A = this chain, B = another copy of it.
């Protein structure tokens, strides 16, 4: 009920404060006998890591994980997999000036009011540091999806007002990974770099968007009423820090259009049912239809900016606040593996949820 568990069958529980002893995750419901792909796990953690370039925070976080349970001789046991990452970068004094201040558009005030207590150091549980748990769990989900022939790839589609027009099937995700800001758009990427540099120089921040494309999902994943595939994807994305919007397929643009233009007609490609267009984004009636699943995620600009802000402290006094420390001028590049991880969790879960429909008992 406290909402630190995600998923129905492939179920993860996240724990840990940013400056507590460790961040961790328990994965309950992973398939047994699965060889753990340690390379994949390492790569995903590496991709999430801060300090990869001047375009992200230079904060130095450890990503060294320890597997506490559920893996034996390199394979999953079918028992819960607990993994932790120690927090090594305890500069609590950096945060002392924030102990009793409510930073604008952060969760200090809401946490304090909800719980009557909070760990102010580094944002505590509200810190983006929590997402390391998601990336680890998502990596295990990807291992299953890989065996099913499903790939999940995300990249940056917008930074501030610069918005790429690349279609989901046109994106070169390899190129995106080579970009310092994980954007595959050859024309816009340099401009994005520039505006991030300007924002960083100003101590300001920029929002942006990420597009995620899932290939190889068979027909039939997703439950048709409340747990529609895109409803669960939407929730997963909106649960990521700083995310404020989600759209599947043509989304908000499609809403401006007409049925005669938006409908995706079925046709046969060899013996396979396909749609000619894919405005639906691979989901119809909440269930995957075998096409590319794609969706966009909107991130607000990071709230930690360096200009002096007026705000209140816990005594409800007016105070001037200047946030210190190192923060991402634009969060979207580092959020790419987090988006992928959450998508992987949703897809694996719906794959497992659909198993009963695939038994041929009758």
Contacts and interface: CB of A to CB of B under 8 A. Distances in A.
Contacts of A241: 285
A73 to B, nearest CB: 9
Contacts of A355: 352, 355-356, 359
A201 to B, nearest CB: 13
Interface string A307-332: 10111100010100000000000000
B32 A117 contact: yes
A267 interface: yes
Interface in A137-186: 144, 147-148, 158, 160-161, 163
A193 interface: no
A354 B11 contact: no
A99 to B, nearest CB: 11
A139 B170 CA distance: 45
A357 B254 contact: no
Given A31-B357, A109-B284, A286-B239, A207 B115 contact: no
Contact of A110 (B24, B72, B289, B356): B289
Contacts of A301: 254-255, 257-259, 261-262
Nearest to A9: B1
Contacts of A82: 15-16, 22, 24, 84
B111 A287 contact: yes
B114 A17 contact: no
A305 interface: yes
Contact of A361 (B148, B250, B279, B285): B148
A32 B116 contact: yes
22 contacts: A2-B29, A9-B356, A15-B26, A31-B359, A32-B116, A33-B362, A72-B119, A79-B124, A104-B266, A105-B280, A107-B284, A125-B225, A206-B257, A206-B258, A226-B239, A230-B238, A238-B246, A244-B281, A246-B246, A246-B247, A265-B309, A352-B356
